[in-house]
Amino acid sequence: MTGTSHEIRWHGRGGQGAVTSAKLLADAAFRSGWAGVTSMPSFGAERRGAPVTASTRLANEPVRVYSAVTEPDVAIVLDDSLLAVGGALAGLKPGATLIVNTVKPVPELGVSSDTRVVAADVTGAAEAAGVIVGGTPVVSAAILGSVAKATGLVTMEAVEAAIGAMFAGSAAAKNAEAARIAYECTSEGSIVG
């Protein structure tokens, strides 16, 4: 990639909505002024609970790379159990930002000190906003609030617009509220690095 570009890798478990998150980020990034955006799911065995990844690229010009992101500037982890088994730390660029949905304090996550770790209770944000499907809080939209706060790559206005375009009616309102709560609970105090 040439010029300013950002490579982002998503880690989730099947059913958590990592692919939806990646789509929302692409839309929000375009609305935030990035001319080149792509979000691409990586498909393996499609089953609930299995580790899944997705790749998002942001640039000032159209993106011409379609292969998976292997050396991310930002890695976003929807489930902290994937830090140990999901390859979430593989290939991180020096100084990369790692955003983790967790209730654990950062030192307990066991991530090396050359990575900027941002922890946030995104599940709690989804729960507080009532984004619950089949009894489980769904973080796919809420995590965008943490991404906006931790990276500054997208604005919250753009995140809410992207959520409004993807979800209808009360689902849109609840997901936007979840993203706002996640934005607030992703404080600089949770950042180590």
Partner 1 sequence: MRTMTTTVMTGNEAAATAAKLARVQVVAAYPITPQSPVVETISAWVESGELPAEFVAVESEHSALSVCIGASTVGARAFTATSANGLAYMTEQVWWAAGARLPIVMCIANRAMAAPWNVLNDQQDSMSVRDAGWVQLYCRDNSEILDTTVQAFRIAEECDLPVMVCYDGFLLSHTMMPVDVPDAATVDAFLPPRPAPLQVVDPADPRNVGPVVMAAPRADADGEPHGGYFEIRADHQRALLAAAEAVERANADWAAATGRDWGGLTWDYRLDDADIVLVAAGSLATQLTVAADELRDARIAAGVLGIRCYRPFPADEIAARLAGRALAIVFDKAMSYGYEGPIAGDIKTALFGREEAPRVHGVVCGLGGRDVPVSELVDAVRRAMATPTAGAPAAPSAAIDAASTEWLGLAEKSVS
Residue 99 CB: number of other CB atoms within 10 A?
A: 26
In the complex with partner 1, the residue whose CB is nearer, 68 or 84, is 68
Q: Does residue 27 belong to the site contacting partner 1 (CB under 8 A)?
A: yes
Task: Measure the N-to-C terminal CA separation of the chain; round to a whole number of Å.
Answer: 26
Residues numbered 127-146 forming contacts with partner 1, rule: CB under 8 A? none
Helix, coil or strand: residue 123: helix
Q: Give, in degrees to the nearest 5, the angle at Cα 192 between 102 and 122.
A: 25
Q: Does residue 99 belong to the site contacting partner 1 (CB under 8 A)?
A: no
Residues numbered 57-76 forming contacts with partner 1, rule: CB under 8 A? 62-68, 70
Q: Does residue 2 belong to the site contacting partner 1 (CB under 8 A)?
A: yes
In single-letter form, the type of residue at position 127 comes to: E
Q: Does residue 90 belong to the site contacting partner 1 (CB under 8 A)?
A: no
Spatial contact of 13 and 52, defined as CB atoms under 8 Å apart: yes
In the complex with partner 1, the residue whose CB is nearer, 12 or 137, is 12
Residue 51 CB: number of other CB atoms within 10 A?
A: 18
Q: Does residue 154 belong to the site contacting partner 1 (CB under 8 A)?
A: no
* Residues near partner 1, by CB under 8 A: 1-2, 22-23, 26-27, 30, 35-41, 43, 62-68, 70
